[in-house]
Amino acid sequence: MSTLPRDPAARRRIYRRRRIVAACTLCLIVAAIVFCAARVHDFFSSRAHASQAAAQSSQTADTQGADAADAADPSGTDATAVDSADRAASASASPSPTETDLTASLGDDLDGIFAGADYAVSVTDLKTGTPLVSISTDEQFTAASTYKLYVAYSMISAVESGRATWNSSLNGTTLSACFSTMIVDSDNDCPVAWLERYGFDSVNEEVQAAGFTDTNIEDGDMLTTASDLTDDLTRLYGGTLYSDGSRQRLLECMETQIYRSGIPAGIGENGTVADKVGFLDGLLHDAAIVYSDKGDYSMVILTDGSSWDAIAEAASTIYDAL
20: pLDDT strictly greater than 50: yes
Q: How far apart are CA 176 and CA 164, in angstroms?
A: 11
| N-term to C-term CA, the chain | 105
Mean pLDDT of the chain: 83
Edge-to-edge strand ranges of the sheet holding 216-218: 141-142, 221-224, 216-218
- Residue 154 to residues 7, 202, 214: CA-CA distances in angstroms? 140, 10, 16
Q: Mapped to the 3 state alphabet, what secondary structure does 177-191 carry?
A: HHHHHHHHCCCCHHH
pLDDT in tens, 236-282: 999 999 999 999 999 999 999 999 999 999 999 999 999 999 999 99
The phi and psi torsions of 11 (rounded to 5 degrees) equal: -60, -40
**In the chain, % of residues over pLDDT 70:** 70
pLDDT exceeding 90 applies to what percent of the chain?
Answer: 69
What's phi and psi for 251, nearest 5 deg?
-60, -40
At 245 the pLDDT is: 97
- How sure is the predictor about 46, in pLDDT bands with cuts at 50, 70 and 90? low
Give the CA dihedral 8, 14, 15, 20, nearest 10 degrees.
150
Distance (Å, whole) CA 273 – CA 290: 5
pLDDT at position 209, please?
Answer: 98
Task: Report whether pLDDT(47) > 90.
Answer: no
Q: Could you tell me if 271 and 292 are in contact, meaning their C-beta atoms sit under 8 angstroms apart? A: yes
Position 95 scores a pLDDT of: 43
Asked if pLDDT for residue 296 goes beyond 60, the answer is yes
Q: What is the pLDDT of residues 135-170, one digit of tens each?
A: 999 999 999 999 999 999 999 999 999 999 999 999
Q: Which amino acid is at 49?
A: H
- The Cα 103–Cα 11 span in angstroms is 118
The whole-angstrom distance between residue 90's C-alpha and the CA centroid of its chain comes to 18
212, 273 in Cβ contact below 8 A?
no
- What is the distance between the alpha carbons of residues 104 and 93, in angstroms, rounded to a whole number? 19
Does residue 273 contact residue 224 with C-beta atoms inside 8 Å?
no
Determine the Cα–Cα distance for residues 134 and 246; give it in Å rounded to an integer. 29
**Residue among 159, 155, 220, 157 at smallest CA distance from 182:** 155
Cβ contact 197:170 at 8 Å? yes
Q: Which amino acid, 245?
A: G
Architecture of the domain spanning 99-321: 3-Layer(aba) Sandwich (3.40)
pTM reported for the whole predicted model: 0.71
pLDDT band of residue 29 (cuts 50, 70, 90) is confident
